[in-house]
Structure 1
């Protein structure tokens, strides 16, 4: 019988906490950045992909370091595959954080 690694258990625990609404903004962003970076988010139920896309578009998360494939085989570009300053790049994240420090965070909006 195989067992899950402690990292996988921790990730699952974080996902359960997210589903229950128990994560704060920083924890939610951290969870989704991890799911984006390893490509998992694009293979989960649609609400996770939509949340990741929202976090990318608002400058709270970066695209993954390399391109990924979603559940349907579509390519999701990596952060270095797009022009600097576009959503998903480090430059965009920095610009958004500088201009929106006081904006409220609603992970379900």
Structure 2
């Protein structure tokens, strides 16, 4: 795969397989991150500027809309993490493992 004087990591970084892997990662992570940041910013802005709405009690209890939004932050964090792990296990990790195996088994590799 590389001559003794070439850095094998540079060759991997320049490979079409690695570039495709990076694109696949970005196609998932960037939209998920943007969605979460919008959701979080909405929560923060509502908490700061919509006191009446956020302090609305639900069903006559002591539970408010703000509390539910706050708990929703935790829930959304766990949901995004679970979705990412499942996606990575199914789509990203197999391709990364295949690329790693190819690099490690290439002639001239240091392993």
Which is greater in Rg?
A: 2
Higher relative contact order (CA closer than 8 Å, sequence separation 6+): 2
> Is this a same-fold pair by TM over 0.5?
no
Q: TM-score range by the shorter chain?
A: under 0.3
